[in-house]
Structures are given as structure tokens and as C-alpha cells.
Amino acid sequence: MSNKFRRHRLAIQSSGRLREDSLEYMGSLGAEFSLADDRRLIQACQSFNLDIISVRHSDIPRYVASGAADYGICGINVLAELNITAKVITTLPFGFCKLVIAVPESSSMQTIADLEGERIATAYPGSLERWLQDQNIHAAIIPIRGSVEVSVELNLADAICDLTQSGRTLKAHQLIPLVTILESQAVLIQSPHASKPFFELIEKNKSYVVEK
Ligand code: PRT
């Protein structure tokens, strides 16, 4: 069915850090939905002509870029990782974090030039590769899916590139940030295939703050 004739679709994270804040944001705009059956990955919003699609956070940019979803709430970090440019309707006051390269506290690596020839483990190989190219640094990228902080202790890597928020996980693994390669927060994005500026209309007059 053409996007013009079907209900609007918003993709949000199915479970994880951005899920609750995304739902709270939608609630602040007046969206009413019943999440009684959490296993349904498509939930109809009762107050708007909108369906909420629950998917993996890292897949949201692809849903939105393809037009399978008209809107999405995701971190800037996943847009950057997939190298997808999307229209950002608004930045949202949650999901704040940084993508950093961190090295062992005891390491002799003290500047970014010291990364030359080293092994860097990351769940963000695309972002890291582009940054290394920009800096003209040649390092081996070790792609892993998670628990990146443990890779140095286990001698899989010499450094890591991972998200950090409070810095506590890095500290717990005797790692210190050497450089921030990306600052991230949640954003509301719009597909190039979306039929109308639906969110712009409902977002326009709202000011939204998440209380922490
Ligand atoms: O849904 P999917 O499985 O694809 O995604 P996911 O498993 O990556 O989801 P999730 O819920 O872990 O993260 C979703 C998004 O939340 C991230 O992509 C960021 O946009 C945002 N975010 C904000 C964070 C953090 N803060 C964060 N601290 N994502 C992950 N972390 C992890 C980090 O990887 C590290 O392991 O938290 C740990 C460090 O936290 P601190 O506070 O100790 O520094």
C-alpha cells in the first residue's frame, strides 16, 4: 500500500535503554496506546493515525531510510555507524553518550598517534574505520558485538572503541578514554518517503523534558 494511504509508522527500540524514554516522549505528545500485549511488535496508537513498530535499535535507521517506517527514534550513533543521513525533526533529551577510544590505564598509549599499529575492539567498526581514515592512523579493527570492555584484559585487543555514559564501566576495567570520536543522543528522524510532516505538526507546540 502506498505510504500516502496507510497509517503513519514510528519505529522505536523493542527493549533496551531508549525504549522507556521513547514511550514517555510519545506520551508527552498525547499519544495513547495500550501495551497490554507486549509481544505485538506493531501497536496501534489510539489518539493518532499512527502505529508504533518495536524493532532492534540498530535496525531503526534502515526501516526509516527505506520507508518501511515513516519515523524513528534512535541514537545519532547508529545513524553514524550505518552512514545513513536522515532528516532530524528534533533532538531528544535522552540517550546521551559518547563513542570513545579507551586504552588501559597502565598503557604507554597517550596520544592518538600511539594507536598506530594497535588492535582496537569495537561494536562500531564503521564509525571507527572512518575516524581512523580521517586521522590517517593504521590500526587493526577487531569487530565484536558487545562486552567490548573485557577484550583488552583478555588480550583480544590493545584498545577499545565503545559507548560510555557515566564512565563507570571503563573504570571497572582499568580503561581510560583517549579520545571522543562521536557525541550522541536520541533523535526523532523522518523518512524521505514519509507522506506528510505529521510529527512536525504534533511536535511544534510541545516542549519536552525527561526528569531523571
Ligand atoms: O536494540 P539493539 O539490540 O540493536 O541495541 P543495543 O543492544 O545497542 O541497545 P542498548 O539498549 O544497549 O543501547 C541503545 C542506545 O542507547 C545506544 O545505541 C546509545 O544510543 C544509547 N546509550 C546511551 C548507550 C549508553 N548510553 C551506554 N552507556 N548504549 C550503551 N551504553 C553501554 C556501553 O556500550 C557500555 O557497555 O553502557 C556501558 C557503559 O556505560 P557507563 O555508564 O558505565 O559509561
Cα–Cα distance, 120 to 140 (Å, whole number)? 6
Ligand 1 in contact with 58 (CB < 6 A)?
yes
State the cell numbers at 204: 511544534
Q: 73-123: per-residue pLDDT in tens?
A: 999 999 999 999 899 999 999 999 999 999 999 999 999 999 999 999 999
Q: Give me the CATH topology for the region 8-95+186-201.
A: D-Maltodextrin-Binding Protein; domain 2 (3.40.190)
- Ligand 1 center to residue 187 CA distance, Å? 15
Cα–Cα distance, 198 to 93 (Å, whole number)? 21
Q: Which mutation among 100, 165, 171 tests ligand 1's pocket best, with the greatest number of atoms within 8 A of CB?
A: 165
Strands (E), 57-198: 71-75, 87-91, 97-104, 119-122, 140-143, 159-164, 175-184, 186-190
Q: 120-130: per-residue pLDDT in tens?
A: 999 999 999 99
pTM of the model: 0.92
CATH of domain 97-183: 3.40.190.10
Q: Which mutation among 94, 97, 98 tests ligand 1's pocket best, with the greatest number of atoms within 8 A of CB?
A: 97
Q: In what order do the strands lie in the sheet with 175-184?
A: 140-143, 119-122, 159-164, 97-104, 175-184
Structural domain boundaries in the chain: 8-95+186-201, 97-183
Cα–Cα distance, 45 to 26 (Å, whole number)? 10
Kindly indicate the confidence band of residue 33, based on its pLDDT and cuts at 50, 70 and 90: confident
Q: 186-206: per-residue pLDDT in tens?
A: 999 999 988 766 766 666 555
**CA quadruple 12, 14, 18, 24: dihedral sign:** positive
